[in-house]
């Protein structure tokens, strides 16, 4: 996990640069594909996923080294062949894992966060899950284990394969000629993220588009069918932690409410979105019917709140980068506490973005907890060794959090409501 954290120290600045280029380009060509609150929500989702994965907070059904030890019938010696086979197997496994996430109710829960943005841009690529608490991906790598692909090769290629899926989440790049027959391109992935009936559950490939063409899930982007983005059951929140578990909560409710024992059991493994008839009739859930004319989620956000949301997001990013940089020195218990502060912070400021009344409680409590930590320990997880006056900076941040939580909950929100009424 420390190796993954080190890799992210280099990958995250690269993501930030590409995001900045996309936002800047959109501004100058007057075709902006980013909305502040949505982008903050997307990046915040990425932060939670990165921290969760870095800490290894998942139960692994079976590990790749175990499969390698018990299933390998040969060992590939040629270096170039090892890497080529490993890449192809990883991409093939990624396709089927992705397809499973779109087709089965319980597995959709860990993927819905990625589709939850009603925009399509590089930021939405960062909407990755924290709800994938059971690790089973190694089961898709059985072919690699049988061929004896070394664990080190998989460990190096896996994050590269994941990071390589970032660039095609954009609307600024059109079709790419002959590459459309080889790689997953922005055009193909726009289709994948669309909720148009013509596009649903299509283009499930990750790097190579050959799997979609082979297994009947390929769909070209059509000029007469402009993609509309999001999910058919809209998230209705900027809070990525809530989005991660919305679908699971709905399944749990339906499993509890249905009178059929058979439905209580099979609902988990039925096609995505399936619900028992008795529950569906008694507890209807709004689903988008007209994909071209639905009300996209928005909250009453002033420029001050938008700037504050950006400030909180960037601060969370900075704290996370320090956590990765000081990974070993902080220690696992310290990492858990540190990451809890970031998680609660993201929950707090995105709830504030949603204009929820209870946001002020979260912000005040975490601000006070942060200050008490500084007073008791005299340092913020070793930051004093790297940043002069670190305690003052961190203490100031938590004071801002407390006062901003109160201000945006009681003063600005009230002023805005009175202005709208007038």
**What percentage of the chain has pLDDT greater than the value 70?**
96
pLDDT at 57: 82
pLDDT at 217: 98
Average predicted confidence (pLDDT) for the chain: 93
Task: Flag whether pLDDT at 415 surpasses 60.
Answer: no
pLDDT at 22: 97
pLDDT at 1: 55
| Mean pLDDT confidence for 243-272 | 96
Quick one: how far is CA 246 from the chain centroid?
Answer: 14
- Residues contacting 202, CB < 8 A, separation 6+: 191, 192, 212, 217, 218, 219
| Mean pLDDT confidence for 156-166 | 93
Confidence band, pLDDT 50/70/90 cuts, at residue 135: confident
Task: Flag whether pLDDT at 419 surpasses 50.
Answer: no
- Residues contacting 142, CB < 8 A, separation 6+: 67, 71
For 231-252, write each residue's pLDDT tens digit.
Answer: 999 999 999 999 999 999 999 9
Confidence band, pLDDT 50/70/90 cuts, at residue 182: very high
For 360-411, write each residue's pLDDT tens digit.
Answer: 999 999 999 999 999 999 999 999 999 999 999 999 999 999 999 999 999 8
pLDDT at 3: 65
pLDDT at 77: 73
Task: Flag whether pLDDT at 303 surpasses 70.
Answer: yes
> Residue 318 and residue 311: Cα distance in Å, rounded?
10
Confidence band, pLDDT 50/70/90 cuts, at residue 414: low
Burial class of residue 391 (count of CB atoms within 10 Å of its CB; 0-12, 13-18, 19+): middle
Task: Flag whether pLDDT at 309 surpasses 60.
Answer: yes
pLDDT at 383: 95
Task: Flag whether pLDDT at 4 surpasses 80.
Answer: no
pLDDT at 76: 76
| Mean pLDDT confidence for 164-175 | 97
> Residue 416 and residue 391: Cα distance in Å, rounded?
35
pTM of the model: 0.93
Confidence band, pLDDT 50/70/90 cuts, at residue 422: very low
Shortest CA distance to 204 belongs to which of 312, 121, 110, 92? 92
Q: C-alpha angle with apex 293: 289 to 299, nearest 5 degrees? A: 105
> Residue 106 and residue 273: Cα distance in Å, rounded?
10
């Amino acid at each position: 996990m420390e190796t993954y954290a080190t890799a992210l120290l280099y990958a995250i600045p690269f993501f930030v640069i590409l995001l900045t280029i996309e936002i800047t380009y959109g501004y100058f060509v007057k075709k902006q594909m980013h909305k502040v609150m949505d982008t903050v929500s997307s990046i915040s989702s990425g932060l939670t996923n990165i921290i969760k994965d870095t800490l290894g907070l998942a139960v692994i059904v079976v590990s790749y080294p175990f499969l390698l030890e018990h299933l390998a019938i040969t060992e590939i010696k040629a270096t170039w062949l090892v890497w080529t086979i490993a890449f192809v197997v990883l991409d093939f496994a990624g396709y089927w894992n992705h397809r499973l996430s779109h087709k089965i109710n319980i597995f959709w829960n860990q993927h819905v966060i990625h589709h939850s943005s009603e925009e399509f841009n590089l930021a939405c690529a960062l909407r990755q899950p924290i709800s994938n608490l059971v690790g089973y991906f190694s089961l898709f790598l059985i072919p690699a284990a049988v061929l004896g692909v070394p664990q080190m090769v998989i460990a190096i290629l896996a994050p590269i394969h994941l990071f390589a899926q970032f660039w095609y989440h954009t609307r600024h790049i059109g079709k790419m000629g002959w590459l459309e027959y080889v790689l997953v391109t922005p055009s193909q992935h726009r289709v994948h993220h669309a909720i148009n009936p013509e596009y649903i559950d299509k283009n499930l490939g990750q790097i190579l588009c050959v799997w979609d063409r082979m297994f009947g899930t390929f769909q070209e982007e059509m000029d007469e069918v402009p993609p509309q983005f999001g999910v058919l059951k809209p998230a209705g929140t900027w809070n990525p932690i809530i989005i991660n578990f919305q679908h699971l909560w709905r399944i749990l409710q339906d499993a509890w409410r249905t009178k059929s024992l058979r439905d209580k059991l099979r609902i988990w493994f039925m096609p995505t979105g399936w619900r028992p008839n008795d529950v569906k009739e008694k507890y209807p859930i709004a689903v988008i019917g007209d994909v071209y004319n639905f009300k996209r989620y928005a909250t009453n956000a002033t420029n001050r709140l938008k700037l504050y949301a950006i400030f909180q997001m960037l601060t969370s990013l900075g704290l996370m980068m320090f956590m990765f940089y000081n990974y070993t020195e902080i220690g696992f218990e310290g990492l858990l506490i540190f990451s809890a502060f970031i998680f609660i912070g993201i929950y707090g400021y995105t709830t504030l973005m949603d204009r929820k009344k209870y946001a002020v409680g979260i912000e005040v409590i975490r601000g006070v907890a942060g200050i008490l930590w500084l007073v008791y320990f005299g340092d913020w997880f070793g930051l004093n060794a790297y940043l002069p006056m670190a305690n003052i900076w961190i203490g100031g941040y938590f004071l801002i959090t407390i006062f901003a939580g109160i201000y945006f909950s009681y003063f600005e929100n009230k002023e805005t409501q009175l202005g709208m009424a007038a």
